[in-house]
C-alpha cells in the first residue's frame, strides 16, 4: 500500500526575540507569572517585512534542503494558518510563487492550532489517493498581528514562526512497522466557538480583529480532549503509549503538555517541549518542535512519533507516524 513518508523538515523564526521581562511595563505581569503558569520564557515576533508567507517560504526552503529536493519535485503545498497575508488568495499560492513553482496546486487550511495536524492528514489522503506524490506541508503564523497588546491574559502567550515537512509517497506493507503516516484521528465541536476566537472577519466586521480567549475554559477542556483523540489513534494503530519513541504535542502551555503526558502514561523524556522558546505559535508549533527534535538528533529514522494539537473551534486531533 501507499504510505506518506517524511522526507524532510525545516523551520523559520522571526529575527526578534521578545523575553517575558519585555512585557513588564507594557502590561501588569511578570516573568515569574508567565513562566510559572505557561512554561514560556520567550517568543519570536515578526518585523514588518516578515509575514506568514515569507516565514512559510523560508521554512519550506529549509525542509526542501533537508530532504535534498527542489520546488520542482513538489506537486502540492498545504499551508495551515489562521493569519494569512490576505483574506484571499490563499497564502499557500503566494508561497508557491515565491518558490518559483508554477506547476501543481496549493491551498490553505484553517483549523487554528490544530491546523498542522489537519494538514498532515489531508496531505496523506492526497498522496494515498494518487493526486500528489510529494507534498510540502507548512504551518506558518504571525499571531502577533492579531493580539490585543493591552490584554495581559492573551498577549504573553503567543509567538510567530513557521515549520514545514515534506511528505512523499512510499511503499508500505500495511502494518505498524511501515514508515510514514500510520493512523490519525480528527475532531471538532463548534459549540466551543466563543471560548477562543478572533473578534473580526471579512463577512462580519470587515476588519481583521483581535484574539479573545477564556483561558481557564480552554484549559479545562484541553487535557480531556487531547487524551481522547490520542487514545483513539493508539487504538486505530493497535499500540500503547509505551511503543512511542516521541510525543510532539502542540506547544500552548507546559502544564497542559505535562498533564496530558501524565494521563496517557508517556514518559517525560519522550516529550518534545519548545514552548519555552517559541510560545504558542498555533499551526506552526508542531512542525517547529519536530524540526528542532530532528535537527538535534532526537527524532531518527524508524522512530514512532505522535503529533497532537488542540485549538480554537474547538478543533483537535492526533497523527501517528513512523519516521
Ligand atoms: N500576568 C499576571 N497576571 C495575569 C496574567 C498575566 N499575563 N494573565 C492573567 N492574569 C491574572 C488574571 O487576571 C487572574 O487574576 P484574578 O484572579 O485577579 O482575576 C489570575 O491571573 C488568574 O487567571 P487565570 O486565567 O485563572 O489563570 P490560569 O492559571 O488559568 O492561567 C492561562 C491562565 C495561562 C491562560 C491558562 O488558563 C491557559 O494556559 N489556558 C489554556 C490556554 C491555551 O492553551 N490556549 C491556546 C489554545 S490553542 C489555540 O487554538 C490558539
- Which structural domains are found in the chain, ordered by start? 2-171 (3.40.47.10), 180-322 (3.40.47.10)
Angle at 109 between CA 125 and CA 309, to 5 degrees: 80
Strands 180-188 and 160-171: unpaired
Strands 211-213 and 105-109: unpaired
- Residues 46, 142: contact at Cβ < 8 Å? yes
CA gap 214, 216 in Å, rounded: 6
Average pLDDT of the segment spanning 65-71: 98
For ligand 1, whether the C-beta of 110 sits within 6 Å is: no
Q: Taking the CA atoms of the chain, what radius of gyration do you get in angstroms?
A: 18
Which of 247, 85, 44, 63 has its CA nearest to residue 137?
A: 63
CA distances from 22 to 9, 28, 156, 210 (A): 31, 11, 10, 21
List the grid coordinates of 267.
514518559
What would the pLDDT profile of 233-267 be if each residue is shown by its tens digit?
999 999 999 999 999 999 999 999 999 999 999 99
Pocket mutation for ligand 1, best pick of 139, 155, 253, 309 (most atoms within 8 Å of C-beta) = 253
In the chain, what percentage of residues exceed pLDDT 70?
100
Reported confidence tier of residue 96, pLDDT bands at 50, 70, 90: very high
pLDDT score for 130? 98
pLDDT score for 128? 98
For ligand 1, whether the C-beta of 40 sits within 6 Å is: no
Compute the distance from residue 80 Cα to the ligand 1 centre, in Å: 26
pLDDT score for 232? 98
Reported confidence tier of residue 187, pLDDT bands at 50, 70, 90: very high
Compute the distance from residue 144 Cα to the ligand 1 centre, in Å: 18
Angle at 192 between CA 191 and CA 194, to 5 degrees: 110
Average pLDDT of the segment spanning 141-145: 98
Compute the distance from residue 141 Cα to the ligand 1 centre, in Å: 21
List the grid coordinates of 251.
506547544
Average pLDDT of the segment spanning 148-169: 98
Residue 70, phi then psi, degrees to nearest 5: -125, 170
Mean pLDDT, rounded, of the chain: 98
Residue entry with cell 495551515? 80
- Alpha-helical (H) ranges within the chain are 31-38, 52-67, 91-98, 115-128, 152-155, 215-237, 254-264, 275-278, 285-295
Closest C-alpha residue for ligand 1 atom 19:
153
- Residues 18, 156: contact at Cβ < 8 Å? no
Q: Which positions are catalytic?
A: 113, 250, 280
Pocket mutation for ligand 1, best pick of 37, 250, 254 (most atoms within 8 Å of C-beta) = 37
Amino acid at each position: 500500500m501507499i504510505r506518506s513518508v517524511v522526507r524532510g523538515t525545516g523551520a523559520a523564526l522571526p529575527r526578534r526575540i521578545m523575553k517575558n521581562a519585555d512585557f513588564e511595563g507594557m502590561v501588569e505581569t511578570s516573568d515569574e507569572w508567565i513562566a510559572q503558569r505557561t512554561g514560556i520564557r520567550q517568543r519570536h515576533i515578526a518585523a514588518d517585512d516578515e509575514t506568514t508567507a515569507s516565514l512559510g517560504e523560508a521554512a519550506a526552503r529549509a525542509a526542501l534542503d533537508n530532504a535534498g529536493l527542489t520546488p520542482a519535485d513538489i506537486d502540492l503545498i498545504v499551508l495551515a494558518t489562521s493569519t494569512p497575508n490576505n483574506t484571499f488568495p490563499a497564502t499557500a499560492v503566494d508561497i508557491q510563487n515565491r518558490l518559483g513553482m508554477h506547476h501543481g496546486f496549493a491551498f490553505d487550511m484553517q483549523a487554528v492550532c490544530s491546523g498542522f495536524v489537519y494538514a498532515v492528514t489531508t496531505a496523506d489522503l492526497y498522496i494515498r489517493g494518487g493526486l500528489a506524490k510529494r507534498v510540502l506541508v507548512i504551518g506558518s503564523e504571525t499571531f502577533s498581528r492579531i493580539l490585543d497588546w493591552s490584554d495581559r491574559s492573551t498577549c504573553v502567550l503567543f509567538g510567530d514562526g513557521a515549520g514545514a515537512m515534506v511528505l512523499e509517497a512510499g511503499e508500505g506493507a500495511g502494518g505498524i512497522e511501515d514508515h510514514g503516516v500510520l493512523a490519525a484521528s480528527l475532531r471538532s465541536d463548534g459549540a466551543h466557538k466563543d471560548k477562543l476566537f478572533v473578534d473580526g472577519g471579512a463577512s462580519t466586521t470587515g476588519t481583521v480583529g483581535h484574539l479573545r480567549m477564556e483561558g481557564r475554559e480552554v484549559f479545562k477542556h484541553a487535557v480531556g480532549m487531547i487524551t481522547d483523540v490520542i487514545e483513539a489513534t493508539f487504538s486505530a494503530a493497535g499500540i500503547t503509549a509505551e511503543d512511542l519513541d516521541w510525543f510532539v504535542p502542540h506547544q500552548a502551555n507546559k502544564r497542559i503538555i505535562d498533564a496530558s503526558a501524565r494521563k496517557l502514561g508517556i514518559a517525560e523524556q519522550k516529550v518534545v517541549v519548545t514552548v519555552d522558546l517559541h510560545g504558542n505559535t498555533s499551526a506552526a508549533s508542531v512542525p517547529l518542535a519536530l524540526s528542532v527534535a530532528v535537527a538535534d538528533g532526537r527524532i531518527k529514522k524508524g522512530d514512532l512519533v505522535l503529533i497532537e494539537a488542540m485549538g480554537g473551534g474547538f478543533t483537535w486531533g492526533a497523527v501517528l507516524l513512523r519516521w
